[in-house]
Every structure is written in structure tokens, then in C-alpha cells.
Amino acid sequence: MGEIPVQKDVPWLVTFKISWGSLRRRLLRSLVTMTGVVLAIAFLAHMLITDSIIYALVEVNERALNILLQKSDVDISNVGTGDSLMVLFLFLTLLITLVGISNSMFMAVTERVREIGTLKCLGAHDNFIIRSFLIESSLQGVLGTLCGIILGMTVALSVALVSYQAYVFKYFPLAAVIKALMISFVIGTVLSVVASIIPAYMAARKQPVEALRHEE
Amino acid sequence: MSEVILTVQDVTKVYTMGAEKVHALRGINLEVAQGEYLSIMGPSGSGKSTIFNMIGGLDSPSAGEVLFEGAKLAHLSSAQLAWFRCHKIGFIFQSFNLIGSMTTLENVSIARVFAGASLEQAKQEAAEVLTRVGLGHRLTHLPSQVSGGQQQRIAIARALVNKPSIILADEPTGNLDLKTGEEIIDLLAEMKQDLGITVITATHDLKMLSRSDRVILIADGQIRRITKKGEVEIEVGSVDGETVA
Ligand SMILES: Nc1ncnc2c1ncn2[C@@H]1O[C@H](COP(=O)(O)OP(=O)(O)OP(=O)(O)O)[C@@H](O)[C@H]1O
Ligand SMILES: [Mg+2]
């Protein structure tokens, strides 16, 4: 039959439609896998928001408020000066986020290795597999991140309300909180995508037989 | 009568597991004609699936060659192999291997998309093939929402949608009850008749053997006997003291 041609790539848009279609149907399940992302980002968002609220309240420097702050163990003289403990804590938060997210993404790919083997039998090009995983993990990452942000924000605001009551509303640092939300969003999404590239790439490069033999 | 589509030449496969070597295939030679219905049988572990993997370009032999219409599979790049699997081979598995998050229609149409069809066109053609295998009324169901026999029909539609030259079916009735299995066998035989597709199956199923043009018996990675149509019925009751079926 002469030379066997090279398999053509599926266009990005088509890949996106296919990925979105199948992601939609296992949304619940994928959220379970995404708990790592949700919790990590909730933790990060909670940290950042609590921080900006406390910073704003300390700035106010009002007697009654200072007493409340001291009651919840805030070291007034040191807030916002970027002390080393704070930096360490932030670093640890990021580390936890990174581990949580890469773990989740790794699981998300591993549980679908057989599926990858099947797709290869149907003639999927390696690129299709990498792209569709990239698309799906970005969407999952965005979703998990949004859930995490909502969770983290809810907890941070509730705790702040209990500790500082109406002061929170009065001196609410809207700009800083929005910034914190945006930072959490970007970190969550970027880490999700980055953390899924490696397992997706590894899965796509697998020999189809190996992938098919993979147990659930 | 018709030309050779597939040639397996002195194929061996050795799996190395630590210090131990498993000889899954020990020199297989085989020629398959266009439009032939070939069954491979043999005890568990005899190397049936291993042969299928070689023919489908899913794995490469340790030595020897597999040629499809004269082209050596071992020389193909991964993108060429993808093209080959997409356009020339239709796989059917014992465990169906449908994508759980895709509907019946999507499970079939995705194979068309890989072959270069647009989404619309792929869906339309997939629906036609699905109707043909009797699943026109289940297009939007998920695999988990249809029976095992229906899942295997979806898999058959998926294998057929790109009009392959060869259908490779590794124990396609292994997970089905007798009656459903028989329906699947009828369907495969019908496709072979109507479309002139070459069908290669691995099976323990007597009914499947009786439909075959040739039955290859393998044991311990070697071909032990080749039985042509007509001789089949007499031979299959017991093979080398081993009960088949
Ligand atoms: N990945 C592998 N690593 C090591 N040994 C393997 C591997 N795959 C298959 N084998 C061995 O190769 C031999 C042939 O296996 P194969 O799966 O081809 O058998 P089979 O005839 O399909 O059996 P069954 O009827 O049970 O499906 C067996 O001894 C098996 O243990
Ligand atoms: Mg087998």
C-alpha cells in the first residue's frame, strides 16, 4: 500500500469541545479528585484574606479594637513588617498548595490511563491526549480553585466576624481582599495546569498496551 | 482467492521481568487474506493477546516482522502508527473499553474525528453505524446506562466507523452471556459478509469457531495447528486433550 501517512492533529477547538463534553459529565467525580486543589486554595485564600483584614484593622489603631486584636493573639507591633515568621508561614502555605494540587492532578491522570490506551487504539495522536488533558485540567483547576476561594473566603470572613465583630465591615479592606482573591485564583489555576502537564505527557507517551493493561 | 493483507514473519516476543524471561511468542508465521474470518484459540497465557497487540501496532515484537499490505509496522513513527490504527484497524475488547464520560454517539464519533471528520459529520456517520448495529435509539445514553451486549455493539460500531481493513477482536464475547454473545458473533459475521472486512478474533467460543474460515490453535507461543473451514466442527471438541469452550 505504499507509504503510510502521518496522523493529522485534531484542531484545538474540536479538542476543546470534546474535552468539555466529557468533563461536564464527570464533574462531581472530578471535584472529588480536586479536593486537594480546593483545600489547598481554601487554605491560601483564607491566609491571604485574614492577613489583609488584620492588617487593615491594625492600621485603624483604635483602643477597643486593639484589645480585640490582642485577644486573638495578633502581634500588633509586628503586623505588616514582613517578619521572618510570616514569610516562613506564607512559604509553607505555598508548599502545601503545590503538593495538594500536584497530587490531585497526578491522581486525575492516573485514574484515566486505561482511557488513554483506548483512545490510542482509536488512533488518537499523542498531541490530542496531551491537549485534551491540558484543557480538562485547566478547567478542573479553575473550578477547584473557585470552590477553594469561596470556601477560604467564607471561613476567613466568619472567623474575622466572630473575633472583631462590626469592625470588619467598618474597615473592610476591599481592594486588598480582591487582590488576595486574584492571587489565589492565579496560583490555583497555574499550578493545576503545570502540575498536570507532566503526568499527561507521561501518559501520552506510554505504549498503548501498557496503558490498556493499567488497572483502574 | 484474494490477496494477502497481513503477514506475520517469525515473530517472537520476550518479556523480561527482572532476571526471568517470559517467552510469550516463539516464532509465529501467518498470512491473512483480505476478507478472511480467522479465529485464534489456545489456553490462557498461550500468547493470543500478544499476537493481537503486534498486529494492531500496539506493541512491537522482540524479533520478526509484522507487515500490513507490505509495510513493516516496526518502521512506522508513532504518528504513522496512529494513522494506521485509526484507518486500518478496528479494535474490539473483552471488557468493551468504552469511555465512561461519553455518550454512545460520542464514543463512536470520536473515532471519526481522529480520522479527520468534522464534529457534525462524525456524529452523523456515527449515528448511521449505530443504527445499523441496532442502537439507533440509545444515542444519548452513557455506557453505564446500557447492557453489556449493547456496550459491545457500541464498541463494534466504533470499530467499524472508519471502515477499517481488519477488525481485531480479543475475546469479544468473554464478558457476555451465551445468547448475547451469539448475537455479537452474528453481527461480526454479518459485517464481514457485507463489508468484506477481515475479522481476526481470539476466542474460546465454539460458535465463533464454526463461523471461521480458519482456526489457528496456539499453545505456549507457537502455532500448533491450522484448521480450515469444514474441518472445524470435527476438530474443536477437544484439542490436545484440552477442552475448548
Ligand atoms: N507485560 C507482560 N509482562 C510479562 N509477561 C507478560 C506480559 N504480557 C503477557 N505476558 C505473558 O505472556 C504470555 C502470553 O500472554 P497473553 O496475554 O498473550 O495470553 P493470552 O493467550 O491472551 O491469554 P488469555 O486467554 O488469558 O487472555 C503469558 O505467559 C503472560 O504471562
Ligand atoms: Mg488474552
Q: What global pTM score does this model have?
A: 0.83
Specify whether the CB–CB gap between B151 and B97 falls below 8 A.
no
Distance CA(B138)–CA(A79), nearest Å, equals 63
Of A1, A123, A208, the CB nearest to B114: A123
Pocket test for ligand 1, best of B16, B50, B244 (most atoms within 8 A of CB): B50
CB contact under 8 A, A4 and B71: yes
How deeply is A146 buried, as exposed, middle or buried, from its count of CB atoms within 10 A (0-12, 13-18, 19+)? middle
- CB B47 less than 6 A from any atom of ligand 1: yes
Joined together, the cell numbers standing for residue A90 give 506564607
The answer, yes or no, to whether residue A158 has pLDDT greater than 70, is yes
How deeply is A6 buried, as exposed, middle or buried, from its count of CB atoms within 10 A (0-12, 13-18, 19+)? middle
pLDDT the model gives residue B240: 47
Q: What b/e sequence results for B115-151 when a residue is b if at least 16 CB atoms lie within 10 Å of its CB, and e otherwise? A: bbbebeebbebbbebbebbebeebbeebbeebebbbb
CA B205 to chain centre: 14
pLDDT the model gives residue A135: 87
- CB B25 less than 6 A from any atom of ligand 1: no
The answer, yes or no, to whether residue B232 has pLDDT greater than 60, is no
Specify whether the CB–CB gap between A38 and B113 falls below 8 A.
no
Mean pLDDT of A173-184: 90
First to last CA, chain B: 30
pLDDT band at A215 (very low <50, low <70, confident <90, very high): low
Among A104-113, A146-155, B48-57, the minimum mean pLDDT is found in A104-113
Joined together, the cell numbers standing for residue B209 give 469457531
Question: Which chain B residue is nearest to residue A216, measuring alpha carbons?
Answer: B97
pLDDT the model gives residue B243: 46
The CATH number, out of the four listed (3.10.105.10, 3.40.50.300, 3.40.50.720, 3.40.640.10), of the domain defined by the range B1-84+209-245: 3.40.50.300
Mean pLDDT of A148-173: 88
- CB B54 less than 6 A from any atom of ligand 1: no
- Mean pLDDT of all residues in chain A? 84
pLDDT the model gives residue A205: 84
CA angle (A155 as vertex; A154, A158 as ends), nearest 5: 85
The per-residue pLDDT for range A85-128, each reduced to its tens digit, is: 767 877 887 787 778 777 877 887 788 888 999 999 999 988 89
The per-residue pLDDT for range A36-58, each reduced to its tens digit, is: 888 888 988 998 898 888 888 88
The answer, yes or no, to whether residue A65 has pLDDT greater than 90, is no
Complex ipTM more than 0.85, yes or no: yes
Q: Mutation test of the interface with chain B: which of A113, A121, A205, choosing the one with the most B Cβ atoms within 10 A?
A: A121
Mean pLDDT of A180-195: 88
Specify whether the CB–CB gap between B217 and B225 falls below 8 A.
yes
